[in-house]
Amino acid sequence: MDKIIVTILVMAIITYLTRALPFFIWGSKPCPAIIQYLGETLPYAMMALLVVYAFKSVSITTSPFGLPELIAGALCVVLHLWKHNQLLSIGASTITYMFLIQVIF
C-alpha cells in the first residue's frame, strides 16, 4: 500500500473517532446537564472558530492587505443574507475572489 493511501486511512480513522467520541462516552448513560449545555452552545462558537481558521493566512500588513478576502467574504455574507441560496453565495464569491487575485491584485 502506498504512503498516500495509508495517510488517508489515518485521517479517516482520526476523523471518525472525533465524531464518535461523545457517543461512545455518553451513548449508554444519561447525558449530564453540563454536557447538554455545551451541546447547545459550542457548535455556534465552533463555526465562528472555523470561519477565522479559514482566513487564518490572510495578511493585513502586506499588500493587498486582505482586500480580496474582505471583498469576496463580504459579498458571500451579503448575498446569503439576501437570497439564502448556497450556490449563489458560494459560487459568486469564489469566482469574484479568483478574479480579484488573478486580475486585480
Partner 1 sequence: MKKDVIKKAFQLTFPVMMGYIFVAIAFAVLMKEKGLSPLYSLLLSIFVYAGAMQFAAVELLSSGAGILSAAIMTLMVNIRHIFYGLSLIEPYKKMKKEKYYFIHSLSDETYSILCTQDKNDRPLLLLIGLFNQLYWIAGTLIGSWLSEYLFFDTTGIDFAMNALFLVIFVEQWQSVEHHFPAILGIVLSLVCLVVFGQNQMVIMSMILILASLLAYRKLKGVN
> What residue ranges bind partner 1 (CB under 8 A)?
3-12, 14-16, 18-23, 26-28, 31, 34-57, 68-69, 72-73, 76-77, 80-81, 84-87, 89-91, 93-94, 97-98, 100-102
What minimum distance in Å lies between the beta carbon of 44 and partner 1? 4
What minimum distance in Å lies between the beta carbon of 100 and partner 1? 8
Q: Residue 25: what are its φ and ψ, rounded to 5°?
A: -80, -50
Would you say 12 or 65 has its CB closer to partner 1? Answer: 12
Task: Give the CA dihedral 24, 26, 28, 33, nearest 10 degrees.
Answer: -170
What minimum distance in Å lies between the beta carbon of 56 and partner 1? 5
What's the sign of the alpha-carbon dihedral 55, 73, 41, 38? negative
76: cell is 458571500
Task: Give the CA dihedral 98, 101, 103, 105, nearest 10 degrees.
Answer: 160
What minimum distance in Å lies between the beta carbon of 63 and partner 1? 16
